[in-house]
Structure 1
Amino acid sequence: MCEPRTVWRRAASRLSRLTAVLALGASALLSVAGPAHAAPAEDPLPVDIPDYQAALNAVKSADVRNAVCRFLAVPVPQGGSQSVQMVPDKANPCEGMPAFTIKDPLAVSEITPGFVAGTSPPIATEAVKLARLVSSLSNTVNDRQATVMLAPTQGGGWHLAAVREGDDEAEYAGKAGAGVLVFSEPQIRGWYQLKLTTVEPLNDQARQGLGGKSSMSLSEYQKLVKARYADKLPASDYDTKGMSSGYGIASGTDSTSSIAPLLVGGSSAALVLAGGAFFFRRRRNNAG
Structure 2
Amino acid sequence: MHETRTSSKRAASRLSRLTTVLVLSASALLSVAGPARAVAPMDPLPADIPDYQAALDLVKSADVHNTVCRFLSVPVPQGDGAGAPQPIPDKADPCEGLPAFTIKDPLALNEITPGFVAGTSLPIATEAVRLSHLVSALNAPVNGRNATVMLAPTQGGGWHLAAVRDGDSDAAYAGKATVGTLVFTEPQIRGWYRLRLTTVEPLNDQARQGLEGRSSVSLSDYQKLVKARYADKLPGSGYDTTGMSSGYGVAKRTEDASSPAPLLIGASGTALALAGCAFALRRRRPRGTIA
Give me the TM-score of the superposition, normalised by structure 2: 0.76
CA RMSD of aligned residues (A): 2.6
Structure 2: gaps spanning 5 or more residues? 1-19, 36-47, 277-281
How far has the Cα of 1:178 moved from its partner? 1.1
1:249 partner SS: helix
How far has the Cα of 1:134 moved from its partner? 0.3
2:252 to 239, 249, 252: 249
Asked which structure has the greater CA Rg, the reply is 1
Structure 1: gaps spanning 5 or more residues? 1-36
Match of 1:227 in 2: 228
1:149 partner SS: strand
Question: Higher mean Cα deviation, 242-251 or 93-102?
Answer: 242-251
* CA–CA distance in structure 2, aligned partners of residues 255 and 266 of structure 1: 22
How far has the Cα of 1:219 moved from its partner? 0.2
Matched, 1:178 2:175: no
* CA–CA distance in structure 2, aligned partners of residues 262 and 85 of structure 1: 14
Match of 2:135 in 1: 134
Matches within 5 A, 1:185-196: 185-196=186-197
Matches within 5 A, 1:25-36: none
How far has the Cα of 1:95 moved from its partner? 1.0
Match of 1:108 in 2: 109
1:147 partner SS: strand
Q: Percent identity?
A: 68
1:42 partner SS: helix
* Residue identity matched to 1:212: G
Does the aligned pair in 2 maintain the 1:161–1:273 contact within 8 Å?
A: no
1:80 partner SS: coil
Match of 2:85 in 1: 85
- After superposition, give the CA deviation of every residue in 1:82-135 in whole Å (9 maximum; x if it has no partner): 767345153211012101000000000000000000000000000000000000
Match of 2:201 in 1: 200
Does the aligned pair in 2 maintain the 1:153–1:254 contact within 8 Å?
A: no
Matched, 1:53 2:56: no
Report the count of equivalent residues: 244
Distance verdict in 2 for CA 1:281–1:108, change over 3 Å: farther
* Residue identity matched to 1:66: N
Matched, 1:95 2:96: yes
